[in-house]
Amino acid sequence: MQTLHVELGDRRYPIFIGSQLDPKTLLAPYIKGQQVMIVTNTTLEQLYLSHYVHDLESLGKKVATCVLPDGEKYKNLENLNLIFDALLEAGFNRDCTVLALGGGVIGDMAGFASACFQRGVYFIQVPTTLLSQVDSSVGGKTGINHPLGKNMIGAFKQPEVVMADMAQLRTLPARELSAGLAEVIKYALLGDLEFLAWLEQHMDGLLAGDESLLAQAVYRSCAHKARIVANDEKEQGERALLNLGHTFGHAIESYLGYGKWLHGEAVATGMVMAADLSQRMGWISAEDLQRTKNIIQRAKLPISCPKIPLDEFLSYMAHDKKVLNGQLRLVLLQQLGQAVITKEFDVEKMKQVILENQAE
Protein backbone atom coordinates (compact mmCIF):
# COMPACT_ATOMS: atom_id res chain seq x y z
CA MET A 1 0.00 0.00 0.00
CA GLN A 2 1.12 3.52 -0.81
CA THR A 3 -0.06 6.66 0.95
CA LEU A 4 -0.34 10.01 -0.78
CA HIS A 5 -1.04 13.17 1.20
CA VAL A 6 -3.07 15.96 -0.35
CA GLU A 7 -1.60 19.12 1.13
CA LEU A 8 -4.40 21.56 1.91
CA GLY A 9 -3.29 23.04 5.25
CA ASP A 10 -5.67 22.12 8.02
CA ARG A 11 -7.72 20.10 5.53
CA ARG A 12 -4.73 17.87 4.63
CA TYR A 13 -5.84 14.29 4.09
CA PRO A 14 -4.36 10.93 3.04
CA ILE A 15 -5.20 8.70 0.07
CA PHE A 16 -4.48 5.03 0.65
CA ILE A 17 -3.76 3.20 -2.62
CA GLY A 18 -3.31 -0.56 -2.80
CA SER A 19 -4.96 -3.91 -3.22
CA GLN A 20 -7.28 -5.74 -0.80
CA LEU A 21 -7.15 -2.95 1.76
CA ASP A 22 -8.87 -3.28 5.13
CA PRO A 23 -11.50 -0.55 5.62
CA LYS A 24 -11.82 -1.27 9.33
CA THR A 25 -8.18 -0.55 10.15
CA LEU A 26 -7.63 2.21 7.61
CA LEU A 27 -10.82 4.23 8.04
CA ALA A 28 -11.40 3.93 11.80
CA PRO A 29 -9.04 6.77 12.82
CA TYR A 30 -10.86 9.14 10.45
CA ILE A 31 -14.44 8.60 11.68
CA LYS A 32 -14.89 11.40 14.22
CA GLY A 33 -18.40 10.77 15.58
CA GLN A 34 -20.51 7.68 16.18
CA GLN A 35 -22.78 7.88 13.14
CA VAL A 36 -21.88 6.75 9.61
CA MET A 37 -24.16 7.01 6.57
CA ILE A 38 -22.93 4.80 3.73
CA VAL A 39 -24.12 6.11 0.38
CA THR A 40 -23.85 3.63 -2.49
CA ASN A 41 -25.75 2.42 -5.55
CA THR A 42 -27.82 -0.66 -6.33
CA THR A 43 -24.93 -2.39 -8.14
CA LEU A 44 -22.36 -1.94 -5.37
CA GLU A 45 -24.93 -2.70 -2.70
CA GLN A 46 -24.83 -6.35 -3.76
CA LEU A 47 -21.05 -6.51 -4.05
CA TYR A 48 -19.77 -4.69 -0.98
CA LEU A 49 -22.35 -3.02 1.21
CA SER A 50 -22.93 -5.70 3.85
CA HIS A 51 -19.16 -6.07 4.28
CA TYR A 52 -18.74 -2.35 5.00
CA VAL A 53 -21.77 -2.19 7.30
CA HIS A 54 -20.41 -5.15 9.27
CA ASP A 55 -16.91 -3.69 9.53
CA LEU A 56 -18.10 -0.30 10.74
CA GLU A 57 -20.64 -1.74 13.16
CA SER A 58 -17.91 -3.88 14.64
CA LEU A 59 -16.14 -0.58 15.43
CA GLY A 60 -19.19 0.36 17.52
CA LYS A 61 -20.56 2.86 14.99
CA LYS A 62 -24.22 3.44 14.29
CA VAL A 63 -24.41 2.69 10.56
CA ALA A 64 -27.23 3.66 8.20
CA THR A 65 -27.32 3.24 4.44
CA CYS A 66 -28.69 5.09 1.44
CA VAL A 67 -28.80 3.14 -1.82
CA LEU A 68 -29.28 5.25 -4.95
CA PRO A 69 -30.03 4.10 -8.48
CA ASP A 70 -26.92 3.47 -10.57
CA GLY A 71 -25.97 5.97 -13.27
CA GLU A 72 -25.06 9.54 -14.20
CA LYS A 73 -28.66 10.37 -15.11
CA TYR A 74 -29.58 10.01 -11.43
CA LYS A 75 -27.03 12.65 -10.36
CA ASN A 76 -29.73 15.21 -9.75
CA LEU A 77 -31.48 17.21 -7.05
CA GLU A 78 -34.16 14.57 -6.55
CA ASN A 79 -31.69 11.83 -5.67
CA LEU A 80 -29.54 14.21 -3.63
CA ASN A 81 -32.62 14.78 -1.51
CA LEU A 82 -32.86 11.03 -0.86
CA ILE A 83 -29.54 11.31 1.00
CA PHE A 84 -30.90 14.20 3.12
CA ASP A 85 -34.04 12.14 3.81
CA ALA A 86 -31.94 9.18 4.92
CA LEU A 87 -29.75 11.35 7.18
CA LEU A 88 -32.72 12.97 8.87
CA GLU A 89 -34.73 9.77 9.15
CA ALA A 90 -31.73 8.15 10.85
CA GLY A 91 -31.64 11.13 13.24
CA PHE A 92 -28.04 11.91 12.29
CA ASN A 93 -26.37 15.03 13.64
CA ARG A 94 -23.62 17.47 12.83
CA ASP A 95 -20.92 15.04 13.99
CA CYS A 96 -21.89 12.29 11.55
CA THR A 97 -19.80 10.98 8.65
CA VAL A 98 -21.05 10.41 5.12
CA LEU A 99 -19.09 7.59 3.43
CA ALA A 100 -19.28 7.41 -0.37
CA LEU A 101 -18.91 3.82 -1.56
CA GLY A 102 -19.01 4.04 -5.32
CA GLY A 103 -17.83 5.77 -8.44
CA GLY A 104 -17.87 9.42 -9.43
CA VAL A 105 -21.63 9.82 -9.32
CA ILE A 106 -21.90 8.47 -5.77
CA GLY A 107 -18.82 10.43 -4.68
CA ASP A 108 -20.14 13.68 -6.14
CA MET A 109 -23.59 13.28 -4.62
CA ALA A 110 -22.50 11.98 -1.22
CA GLY A 111 -19.81 14.65 -1.03
CA PHE A 112 -22.23 17.42 -1.89
CA ALA A 113 -24.74 16.07 0.62
CA SER A 114 -22.02 16.03 3.30
CA ALA A 115 -21.14 19.64 2.42
CA CYS A 116 -24.76 20.79 2.83
CA PHE A 117 -26.22 18.59 5.55
CA GLN A 118 -26.32 20.76 8.68
CA ARG A 119 -23.98 23.07 6.70
CA GLY A 120 -21.24 20.45 6.66
CA VAL A 121 -20.49 17.07 8.21
CA TYR A 122 -17.56 14.67 7.77
CA PHE A 123 -16.91 12.93 4.46
CA ILE A 124 -14.99 9.77 3.55
CA GLN A 125 -14.49 8.45 0.04
CA VAL A 126 -14.07 4.85 -1.10
CA PRO A 127 -13.93 5.24 -4.89
CA THR A 128 -14.73 1.95 -6.63
CA THR A 129 -14.04 2.86 -10.26
CA LEU A 130 -10.74 3.77 -11.87
CA LEU A 131 -12.22 7.08 -12.97
CA SER A 132 -13.20 8.10 -9.47
CA GLN A 133 -9.93 6.82 -8.01
CA VAL A 134 -7.86 9.07 -10.26
CA ASP A 135 -10.28 11.98 -10.52
CA SER A 136 -12.71 12.36 -7.62
CA SER A 137 -10.22 11.30 -4.93
CA VAL A 138 -8.43 14.61 -5.15
CA GLY A 139 -9.77 18.10 -5.34
CA GLY A 140 -12.97 18.21 -3.37
CA LYS A 141 -15.25 18.95 -6.30
CA THR A 142 -18.72 17.63 -5.56
CA GLY A 143 -22.11 18.34 -7.07
CA ILE A 144 -25.05 17.39 -9.22
CA ASN A 145 -26.23 17.99 -12.76
CA HIS A 146 -29.01 20.30 -13.91
CA PRO A 147 -31.04 19.77 -17.09
CA LEU A 148 -29.24 22.83 -18.51
CA GLY A 149 -25.72 21.81 -17.58
CA LYS A 150 -23.45 19.27 -16.00
CA ASN A 151 -22.09 19.78 -12.47
CA MET A 152 -23.73 23.18 -12.32
CA ILE A 153 -24.67 22.89 -8.65
CA GLY A 154 -22.16 21.82 -6.06
CA ALA A 155 -19.55 22.59 -3.45
CA PHE A 156 -15.87 22.22 -2.70
CA LYS A 157 -15.71 19.59 0.03
CA GLN A 158 -12.52 17.85 1.15
CA PRO A 159 -12.76 14.32 2.57
CA GLU A 160 -11.15 13.14 5.80
CA VAL A 161 -9.57 10.21 3.99
CA VAL A 162 -9.76 8.37 0.65
CA MET A 163 -9.23 4.62 0.24
CA ALA A 164 -8.64 3.42 -3.33
CA ASP A 165 -8.63 -0.37 -3.50
CA MET A 166 -7.56 -1.89 -6.82
CA ALA A 167 -9.26 -5.18 -5.88
CA GLN A 168 -12.59 -3.39 -6.28
CA LEU A 169 -11.75 -2.82 -9.96
CA ARG A 170 -12.05 -6.59 -10.60
CA THR A 171 -15.82 -6.22 -10.83
CA LEU A 172 -15.60 -3.09 -12.99
CA PRO A 173 -16.88 -3.51 -16.57
CA ALA A 174 -14.13 -3.19 -19.20
CA ARG A 175 -15.82 -0.15 -20.70
CA GLU A 176 -15.57 1.68 -17.37
CA LEU A 177 -11.94 0.70 -16.90
CA SER A 178 -11.23 2.33 -20.27
CA ALA A 179 -13.19 5.41 -19.25
CA GLY A 180 -10.97 5.71 -16.18
CA LEU A 181 -7.87 5.41 -18.35
CA ALA A 182 -9.04 8.50 -20.24
CA GLU A 183 -8.39 10.61 -17.14
CA VAL A 184 -5.08 8.83 -16.53
CA ILE A 185 -4.01 9.68 -20.09
CA LYS A 186 -5.14 13.25 -19.42
CA TYR A 187 -2.51 13.73 -16.70
CA ALA A 188 0.16 12.54 -19.11
CA LEU A 189 -0.98 14.81 -21.93
CA LEU A 190 -1.35 17.93 -19.80
CA GLY A 191 1.86 17.74 -17.84
CA ASP A 192 4.01 14.61 -17.93
CA LEU A 193 5.53 13.34 -21.16
CA GLU A 194 7.47 10.65 -19.29
CA PHE A 195 4.19 9.30 -17.89
CA LEU A 196 2.84 9.19 -21.45
CA ALA A 197 5.76 6.94 -22.43
CA TRP A 198 5.08 4.75 -19.37
CA LEU A 199 1.42 4.44 -20.41
CA GLU A 200 2.40 3.55 -23.98
CA GLN A 201 4.60 0.80 -22.54
CA HIS A 202 2.04 -0.60 -20.07
CA MET A 203 -1.36 -0.01 -21.69
CA ASP A 204 -1.97 -3.71 -22.33
CA GLY A 205 -1.27 -4.64 -18.69
CA LEU A 206 -3.49 -1.83 -17.44
CA LEU A 207 -6.35 -2.99 -19.66
CA ALA A 208 -5.83 -6.57 -18.44
CA GLY A 209 -6.37 -5.35 -14.86
CA ASP A 210 -2.82 -5.77 -13.50
CA GLU A 211 -3.36 -4.40 -9.99
CA SER A 212 0.23 -3.38 -9.43
CA LEU A 213 0.30 -1.37 -12.68
CA LEU A 214 -3.13 0.11 -11.90
CA ALA A 215 -1.98 1.17 -8.43
CA GLN A 216 1.05 2.91 -10.00
CA ALA A 217 -1.18 4.69 -12.53
CA VAL A 218 -3.59 5.80 -9.79
CA TYR A 219 -0.75 7.00 -7.54
CA ARG A 220 0.91 8.99 -10.32
CA SER A 221 -2.39 10.52 -11.49
CA CYS A 222 -3.43 11.47 -7.97
CA ALA A 223 -0.01 12.89 -7.20
CA HIS A 224 -0.29 15.12 -10.29
CA LYS A 225 -3.73 16.31 -9.37
CA ALA A 226 -2.79 16.77 -5.70
CA ARG A 227 0.10 19.03 -6.63
CA ILE A 228 -2.09 21.17 -8.87
CA VAL A 229 -4.98 21.34 -6.38
CA ALA A 230 -2.67 22.26 -3.49
CA ASN A 231 -1.55 25.27 -5.56
CA ASP A 232 -5.04 26.28 -6.63
CA GLU A 233 -7.83 24.74 -4.58
CA LYS A 234 -10.67 26.94 -5.85
CA GLU A 235 -9.72 26.83 -9.52
CA GLN A 236 -8.60 30.41 -9.95
CA GLY A 237 -5.80 29.42 -12.29
CA GLU A 238 -3.64 26.32 -12.79
CA ARG A 239 -6.40 23.93 -11.70
CA ALA A 240 -8.36 24.72 -14.85
CA LEU A 241 -5.72 22.73 -16.77
CA LEU A 242 -7.32 19.59 -15.35
CA ASN A 243 -10.23 20.36 -17.66
CA LEU A 244 -8.25 19.30 -20.73
CA GLY A 245 -10.83 17.75 -23.06
CA HIS A 246 -13.71 18.62 -20.74
CA THR A 247 -15.25 21.61 -22.51
CA PHE A 248 -15.67 19.60 -25.71
CA GLY A 249 -16.49 16.51 -23.67
CA HIS A 250 -19.24 18.19 -21.62
CA ALA A 251 -20.88 19.39 -24.81
CA ILE A 252 -20.94 15.82 -26.12
CA GLU A 253 -22.36 14.47 -22.87
CA SER A 254 -24.96 17.23 -22.62
CA TYR A 255 -26.13 16.75 -26.20
CA LEU A 256 -26.36 12.97 -25.95
CA GLY A 257 -28.02 13.12 -22.56
CA TYR A 258 -26.18 12.09 -19.42
CA GLY A 259 -25.40 8.41 -19.29
CA LYS A 260 -25.29 7.57 -23.01
CA TRP A 261 -21.57 8.05 -23.17
CA LEU A 262 -19.44 7.58 -20.10
CA HIS A 263 -17.73 10.74 -18.85
CA GLY A 264 -14.30 9.28 -19.66
CA GLU A 265 -15.36 8.48 -23.21
CA ALA A 266 -16.51 12.05 -23.78
CA VAL A 267 -13.29 13.39 -22.26
CA ALA A 268 -11.27 11.08 -24.53
CA THR A 269 -12.88 12.51 -27.67
CA GLY A 270 -12.67 15.99 -26.11
CA MET A 271 -8.91 15.56 -25.69
CA VAL A 272 -8.60 14.57 -29.33
CA MET A 273 -10.48 17.75 -30.26
CA ALA A 274 -8.28 19.88 -27.99
CA ALA A 275 -5.17 18.29 -29.47
CA ASP A 276 -6.53 18.74 -33.00
CA LEU A 277 -7.17 22.46 -32.39
CA SER A 278 -3.70 22.79 -30.85
CA GLN A 279 -2.25 21.22 -33.99
CA ARG A 280 -4.26 23.49 -36.32
CA MET A 281 -2.93 26.47 -34.37
CA GLY A 282 0.60 25.24 -34.97
CA TRP A 283 1.33 24.43 -31.33
CA ILE A 284 1.79 20.67 -31.59
CA SER A 285 2.85 18.59 -34.59
CA ALA A 286 0.77 16.19 -36.66
CA GLU A 287 2.84 13.40 -35.08
CA ASP A 288 1.89 14.61 -31.60
CA LEU A 289 -1.76 14.59 -32.59
CA GLN A 290 -1.43 11.08 -33.96
CA ARG A 291 0.36 9.93 -30.78
CA THR A 292 -2.55 11.38 -28.75
CA LYS A 293 -5.10 9.55 -30.87
CA ASN A 294 -3.09 6.32 -30.66
CA ILE A 295 -2.87 6.12 -26.89
CA ILE A 296 -6.58 6.93 -26.63
CA GLN A 297 -7.47 4.24 -29.15
CA ARG A 298 -5.21 1.71 -27.46
CA ALA A 299 -7.20 2.35 -24.26
CA LYS A 300 -10.28 1.34 -26.27
CA LEU A 301 -11.72 4.84 -26.16
CA PRO A 302 -13.53 6.79 -28.94
CA ILE A 303 -11.61 9.42 -30.90
CA SER A 304 -14.65 10.92 -32.63
CA CYS A 305 -18.17 11.76 -31.51
CA PRO A 306 -21.60 11.18 -33.07
CA LYS A 307 -23.10 13.80 -35.41
CA ILE A 308 -24.02 16.91 -33.41
CA PRO A 309 -25.29 20.10 -35.10
CA LEU A 310 -22.60 22.78 -34.76
CA ASP A 311 -24.85 25.42 -33.22
CA GLU A 312 -26.00 23.02 -30.51
CA PHE A 313 -22.43 21.93 -29.80
CA LEU A 314 -21.37 25.58 -29.42
CA SER A 315 -24.36 26.39 -27.24
CA TYR A 316 -23.47 23.61 -24.80
CA MET A 317 -19.86 24.80 -24.76
CA ALA A 318 -21.04 28.30 -23.83
CA HIS A 319 -22.45 26.90 -20.56
CA ASP A 320 -18.96 25.82 -19.50
CA LYS A 321 -17.84 27.02 -16.07
CA LYS A 322 -14.59 28.35 -17.56
CA VAL A 323 -16.54 31.05 -19.40
CA LEU A 324 -15.36 34.34 -17.87
CA ASN A 325 -17.13 37.62 -18.61
CA GLY A 326 -18.98 35.88 -21.42
CA GLN A 327 -15.77 34.67 -23.06
CA LEU A 328 -15.00 30.99 -23.59
CA ARG A 329 -11.62 29.74 -22.46
CA LEU A 330 -10.17 26.43 -23.61
CA VAL A 331 -7.47 24.16 -22.29
CA LEU A 332 -5.14 23.42 -25.20
CA LEU A 333 -1.73 21.83 -25.65
CA GLN A 334 1.15 24.28 -25.97
CA GLN A 335 3.25 21.19 -26.44
CA LEU A 336 2.52 17.51 -25.94
CA GLY A 337 2.77 17.16 -22.13
CA GLN A 338 2.16 20.87 -21.47
CA ALA A 339 -1.35 22.32 -21.34
CA VAL A 340 -2.38 25.98 -21.12
CA ILE A 341 -5.70 27.71 -20.59
CA THR A 342 -6.39 30.36 -23.20
CA LYS A 343 -9.06 32.54 -24.73
CA GLU A 344 -6.71 33.24 -27.65
CA PHE A 345 -7.88 30.54 -30.02
CA ASP A 346 -9.24 30.71 -33.54
CA VAL A 347 -13.03 30.26 -33.40
CA GLU A 348 -13.24 29.17 -37.04
CA LYS A 349 -10.61 26.50 -36.48
CA MET A 350 -12.50 25.38 -33.38
CA LYS A 351 -15.64 24.97 -35.50
CA GLN A 352 -13.69 22.91 -38.06
CA VAL A 353 -12.38 20.71 -35.25
CA ILE A 354 -15.92 20.08 -34.01
CA LEU A 355 -17.22 19.27 -37.49
CA GLU A 356 -14.29 17.14 -38.57
CA ASN A 357 -14.11 14.94 -35.48
CA GLN A 358 -17.63 13.62 -35.87
CA ALA A 359 -18.16 10.06 -37.07
CA GLU A 360 -20.19 9.51 -40.19
Q: What CA–CA distance (Å, rounded) separates 15 from 247?
A: 28
Shortest Å, Cβ 10 to a copy of itself: 11
Residue with Cβ nearer a copy of itself (149 or 209): 149
Shortest Å, Cβ 4 to a copy of itself: 24
Q: What CA–CA distance (Å, rounded) separates 354 from 347?
A: 11
CB 166 within 8 A of CB 218: yes
Whether 225 sits among the annotated catalytic residues: the reply is yes
Whether 141 sits among the annotated catalytic residues: the reply is yes
**Residue of 186, 263, 280, 293 marked catalytic:** 263
Tell me the β-bridge partners of 342.
330
Residue with Cβ nearer a copy of itself (148 or 286): 148
Shortest Å, Cβ 97 to a copy of itself: 13
Q: From the CB of residue 79, how many other CB atoms can be counted at a distance below 10 Å? A: 18
Whether 239 sits among the annotated catalytic residues: the reply is yes
Cα 250 to Cα 104, 105, 260, 271, 355: the distances in Å are 15, 15, 12, 11, 16
Residue with Cβ nearer a copy of itself (151 or 216): 151
**Residue of 61, 157, 225, 329 marked catalytic:** 225
Between the two ends of the chain, the Cα-to-Cα distance in Å is 46
- CA 308, 310, 312, 313: dihedral to nearest 10 degrees? 80
**Interface positions with a copy of itself (CB under 8 A):** 33-34, 77, 81, 84-85, 88-89, 91, 93-95, 115-120, 141, 143, 146, 148-149, 152-156, 234, 318-319, 321-326
- CA 4, 211, 70, 161: dihedral to nearest 10 degrees? -20
**Residue of 61, 141, 186, 220 marked catalytic:** 141
Residue with Cβ nearer a copy of itself (125 or 278): 125
Shortest Å, Cβ 267 to a copy of itself: 19
Residue with Cβ nearer a copy of itself (156 or 198): 156
Q: What CA–CA distance (Å, rounded) separates 27 from 344?
A: 46
Residues in the annotated binding site for NAD(+): 70-75, 104-108, 128-129, 141, 150
**Residue of 79, 160, 220, 235 marked catalytic:** 235
Residues in the annotated binding site for Zn(2+): 183, 246, 263
Tell me the β-bridge partners of 165.
18
**Residue of 78, 119, 234, 307 marked catalytic:** 119
Helix (H) or strand (E) holding 104: helix 104-116
Whether 235 sits among the annotated catalytic residues: the reply is yes
Active site amino acids: 119, 141, 183, 225, 235, 239, 243, 246, 250, 263
